[in-house]
Homo-oligomer: A and B are copies of this chain.
Amino acid sequence: MADNSRPAHPAAPVVLGQNQYGKAESRVVRITRDGDTHYIKDLNVSVALSGDMDEVHTSGSNASVLPTDTTKNTVFAFAKEHGIDSAEQFGIHLARHFVTSQPAIHRARIRVEEYAWERIEHAGRGAHSFVRKGQETRLAQITYDGSSWEVVSGLKDLTVLNSTDSEFWGYVKDKYTTLPETHDRILATDVCARWRFGWSDGAEETPDWNESYEQVKKHMLEAFAETYSLSLQQTLYQMGTRIIEHRAEIDEIRFSLPNKHHFLVDLRPFGMKNDNEVYFAADRPYGLIEATVLRDGREARIPADLTNL
């Protein structure tokens, strides 16, 4: 039993601030059958709950605490009960459940990573064989406080590259500037993005989450490809603008774009000219360009730092 030598409620002027808890990274795979044809959804689900949780911090009493193990069980049970139509819809089921069923829980935030699979084409019977697509990871974050909803979808690790139509010149030079200007360079980045939906009233119809995702990704790629770029910031802004203009359901999008440097190798010592043919792909350091693009009149609510660097 406990015999802490220090008082549980120290006299010192210390207060508890924002806090949340839950089970992170429950890896749930859901198979659905339509005769011999199977469908797969592959998610990584993290639950974070907030509410009347002072006592568990100050005295260790768990009287208001739904165990994180239970939040994990709920994820698996809901995969059976509700199925997984989309990460967003699945998260809505979970968030509503925790907030409405537990008096002490006032806010639930569900984060989901989704991994895409495609079918293996073959001559055998059935359709139950899959190969992981391996491109970007789809993201969804659903937050519910008992009255209002916030859904932020996103993606990460979508690596794109333009081998021309990118310039960089006309910038500020100070005493530490040595970079030469360029009128033709490779532009490459790993797209990390989050976009927030206008939908917040549970009584209103939800967007088609899956269709929206596919369209956002399509516009993002097209804007990256079609923008003649004078800076990665310009490309970012074009990508965001394209999405806000084309997708009425989205109010705001934030990007975190590393400028993945591809340095033209100096081949002159070997008697060769490098006519934008051979590049060294560097790891670190890299430029990091981050910005929010939003619909006029809407509030920016996606936090500034999508990554920790």
Contact = CB atoms under 8 A, between A and B. Distances in A.
Nearest to A167: B2
Nearest to A297: B13
B272 A309 contact: no
Contact of A177 (B32, B70, B229, B304): B70
A276 to B, nearest CB: 6
Given A62-B231, A222-B120, A226-B5, A46 B281 contact: no
A145 interface: no
B294 A23 contact: no
Given A163-B40, A225-B124, A69 B179 contact: yes
Contacts of A271: 175
Interface in A1-53: 1-6, 8, 10, 12-32, 38, 40, 42, 46, 48, 53
A244 interface: yes
A275 to B, nearest CB: 9
Given A102-B174, A124-B5, A272-B80, A262 B66 contact: no
A120 B158 CA distance: 12
Given A66-B174, A225-B122, A230-B60, A48 B1 contact: no
A269 B178 contact: yes
A17 B76 contact: no
Contacts of A171: 62-63, 65-67
Contacts of A128: 162-165
Contact of A73 (B163, B172, B178, B300): B178
Given A5-B124, A236-B57, A64 B279 contact: no
Contacts of A79: 277-278
Contacts of A284: 24-27, 283
Contacts of A101: 174
Given A62-B231, A134-B159, A284-B283, A291 B3 contact: no
Contacts of A162: 128-130
Contact of A172 (B15, B66, B132, B161): B66
A148 interface: no
Interface residues of A, number: 163
A277 B177 CA distance: 21
A204 B56 CA distance: 38
B6 A227 contact: yes
A203 interface: no
A67 B172 contact: yes
Max count, chain B CB within 10 A of own CB: residue among A234, A270, A280, A285? A285
Contact of A288 (B48, B169, B303): B48
B68 A259 contact: yes
A281 B42 contact: yes
B270 A77 contact: yes
Nearest to A101: B174
